[in-house]
Amino acid sequence: MITSLLIANRGEIACRVIRTARSLGIRTVAVYSEADADALHVREADEAVLIGPAPSAQSYLVGEKILAAAKETGAEAIHPGYGFLSENAAFAQAVIDAGLVWVGPDPASITAMGLKDAAKALMAEAGVPVTPGYMGEDQSVLTLAEEAAKVGYPVLIKAVAGGGGKGMRLVEAQEDFADALASCKREAAASFGNDHVLIEKYIASPRHIEVQVFGDRHGNVVHLFERDCSLQRRHQKVIEEAPAPGMDAATREALCAAAVRAAKAVDYVGAGTIEFIADGSGALDAERIWFMEMNTRLQVEHPVTEEITGVDLVEWQLRIASGEPLPLAQDQLAINGWAMEARLYAEDPARGFLPSIGRLDLLQFGEAPEGMGHGRIETGVVEGGAVSPHYDPMIAKVVAWGEDREEARLTLAGMLEESAVWPVRINASFLVRALHQADFANGDVDTGLIAREGEALAQAPAPSAEVLEAAARALVPASDVAGFRLNAPAARTGWFLLEGEPVEIALGGQGSEAPVGSVLLAEQGAAWRLTPWRRDGAHGGADGSGAILAPMPGKVIDVAVEEGEEVKRGQKLLTLEAMKMEHTLTAPFDGTVAKLNAEAGQQVQVEALLARIDEAEAG
C-alpha cells in the first residue's frame, strides 16, 4: 500500500480523498492556490504546498508545479480528484514518468476515451450500443448537414472534446442547423481548443443513466450498478440517485454488462463511469439505452453508489493504484436501499442562477429528520470561509440514504430545508422544490424537467409569517420603542428591513428584554437578515458613531449639507427615495459633517455609508 498521497485538487473532493487516505494511515499532502490559503483541504491535510496564484491556469492546472510539490514533500502517489487534471493523459504520463503512482487509469485509456467520437467508434466495435449519429472525419458544413438530415431531427451537435455540458447544441429543424453548428464550433474552439463535432440523434424524453465500473491490474472488471442523473440544468447534473427508478433486473443486467464490456475494451484500471442516454418515453428497455461517453475518473456523484453498496470508492482507488486486486467480486456486490445526492451551489436561482460569491458568515447543513434515513455531507468550506470567484461554486453535496426511494427523497428534502447559508445565496430551496415536484416524486424524470418547470422551481423563497414574527420580536424591546410604528396593542405592527427591503410585520407577542441589532432567520433552505428600520433619520447614527447609513437601497434625491458644515441635532442631511417614498436622514447629534459620500441622483445600497458626523465637544 502507498504510504503518502498528494491530492491535486481542492474543495470537497480534496477533503473527501484526504478523509479516506487518513483512515488507511496514508500521509496526505494538499496543494493550494493563494486564494485557498485558509481552505478546509489545506487544514485537513498533513502538509500543504502553495502552488501559485488564484487562477487555476496558474495553479491547479499546472502539472509541473504539482509534480514539484510531490517531489518536495516526498509524496509517493497523486490523486487528481475530478475536473482539473483528472482526465489529462499527458499529466498522468508525467506522473508515471516521475516515478510516482498515478491514482487513475493508464494514460492510454484516458486518451482512448478522451474524444467522444473516437470513444464511440471504439465502443461500437466492442459491441456496446452507441447513440445513433455521425462521427466522421469530414467536418464540412455540407456533409454535417446531410448527416444530420439522415440521422433525423431533432439532433444534437456535440463538440468531440466537450465536457461539463459545454459545446452542445440541440437543433430542432434543418433551417437552424448552419447557425447552431457555427456557434457550437466557436464555443468548442474557445473552450476546448478543438472545434470538431459529432452529430447525434436527440433522444426523446432523455434519461441520463450511468454505470460505475472498477478495474484492477489483474484483469478484473466489476460494475457497482447504475446511477440516474436525469435531473439536469443545461446538461449539468443537479440531483443524482442510485439505483435508477424503474430499472428492472433484466435491464440492469444488460446495461451493466455493456458497461463492463466497455471498460474491458480499454483495459480499464481504477474507477470509471460509463454514461448512457436512455429513451425515457416508455419503460426502460436495454434496446433503447445507448453509450454516450466514459469519464475516466471518480465522478462527482460517486457517494450515492457508496451509500447503496457500502463500498468506499476512494479506498478501492487507492488499493488498486497500490497494485492490490479488487476487494470484492461481482457476486459479492449488491444494492441496499436508495441514495440521493443534491449539488448545493453558491448561486441565486431567482437571479438566473447567478453565482454568489463572498464570505460564509452563516453555514449550516441540515441533518436527516428524525425517523428517516441517514444523511451525509461532503463539503470543502467552513463557516467564516469564503466562496471564491475563481472556482466551481459547488459548496457541498448533500447526500441521503433511505430504505426506499421515498425515504431517500424525503430525507434529502429535510436536510436541505434545514440548511442555511448567509450572506452568500444557495440553491437549497430550488432543490427542495425539485424534490417535491410531482413527476420527480413519482420517479418520472427526464433531462428536460427543470427547463419545463424552471420558473416555479427557481422563485425566491420568502420567510413565513411565524418565522418573521419570532425574529422581529428579538429586535423589539419589551417596552416598545420610538421608531417603530405601533398600532393598537391588539394588532401591533412594526417596520423592519428584510435583506434591506422594508417589511411590515405583525407583532403578536412580547418584545425582547435584551433586543439585538439584527437577526438571521433561516427557513426552507434560505436565510435572511432582519434589522430594525428606524425611519426618518433615527437610523443614521443609531449606533452612536455618527455614521449615516442608507436604511435601504434607494436613490439620493437631495443633499442638504456640505462637507465640513456644522449641523444641529435633528437637522436634515439628505433625502433618500425608496419604495416610492421619501426618507429624510437627519443628524443624530450636534456636530460637523466630517465626510459626505452622497450626491443627488446616486443609487445606493442598503447600509452604504452616506455621511459621517463628528460629534461636537460637549460643553
Measured distance CA(278)–CA(286) in Å, rounded: 8
Residue 120 CB, shortest distance to ligand ADP, in Å, is 10
Residue 176 or 275 having the CB closest to Mg ion: 275
Question: Least Å distance between CB 127 and ligand ADP?
Answer: 20
- Of 227, 297, 319, 343, catalytic: 297
Interface segment toward ligand ADP; rule CB under 6 A; list 164-172, 263-271, 427-435, 552-560: 164-172
Would you say 498 and 520 are in contact if contact means Cβ atoms under 8 Å apart? Answer: no
Which of 31, 110, 122, 156 forms a contact with ligand ADP (CB under 6 A)?
156
Residue with cell 447557425: 179
452 is catalytic: no
Output 278 or 587, the one with its CB closest to ligand ADP.
278
Comparison of 224 and 498: residue with beta carbon closer to ligand ADP: 224
Burial per residue of 297-321, b for 16 or more beta-carbon CB atoms within 10 angstroms, e otherwise: bbbbbbbbbbbbbebbbbebbbbbb
- Binding ligand ADP (rule: CB under 6 A), the pick from 212, 232, 317, 411 is 232
- With CB under 6 A as the contact rule, the residue among 63, 83, 114, 546 that binds ligand ADP is 83
The Cα 593–Cα 596 span in angstroms is 7
Euclidean distance between CA atoms 417 and 415, whole angstroms = 6
The verdict on 496 binding ligand ADP (CB under 6 A) reads: no
Shortest Å, Cβ 171 to Mg ion: 19
Among 235, 374, 569, 572, binds ligand ADP (CB under 6 A): 235
Q: Which is nearer to Mg ion, 47 or 275 (CB)?
A: 275
Q: Which of residues 267-286 bind Mg ion (CB under 5 A)?
A: 275
Question: Is the torsion defined by CA of 179, 183, 189, 194 positive or negative?
Answer: negative
Residue 392 near ligand ADP by CB under 6 A: yes
Residue 495 as a binder of ligand ADP (CB under 6 A): the answer is no
Q: Least distance in Å: CB of 208 to ligand ADP?
A: 4
**CB neighbour list of residue 424: distance below 8 Å, 6 or more residues apart:** 346, 356, 357, 358, 359, 360, 387, 395
**Residue 250 Ramachandran class (φ > 0 left, ψ -120 to 50 alpha, else beta):** alpha
CA 603 to chain centre: 32
Q: Is residue 200 part of the contact set for ligand ADP (CB under 6 A)?
A: yes
Cα–Cα distance for residue pair 386/223, rounded to 1 Å: 38
Q: Is 611 exposed, middle or buried (0-12, 13-18, 19+ CB in 10 A)?
A: buried
For helices 63-73 and 89-97, the axis angle rounded to 10 degrees is 30
Residue 485, Cβ neighbours under 10 Å: how many? 12
C-alpha cell at position 426: 444557495
Residue 120 C-beta: closest distance to Mg ion, Å: 13
Task: Please identify the residue of the shown chain whose CB is closest to the bound Mg ion.
Answer: 275
- Asked if 427 interacts with ligand ADP (CB under 6 A), we say no
Report in angstroms how near the CB of residue 163 gets to Mg ion at its nearest: 7
* Residues designated catalytic: 297
Binding residues vs Mg ion (CB under 5 A): 275
Binding residues vs ligand ADP (CB under 6 A): 82-84, 131, 156, 162-165, 168, 200-203, 206, 208, 232, 235, 237, 275, 277, 292-293, 295, 299-300, 391-392, 447
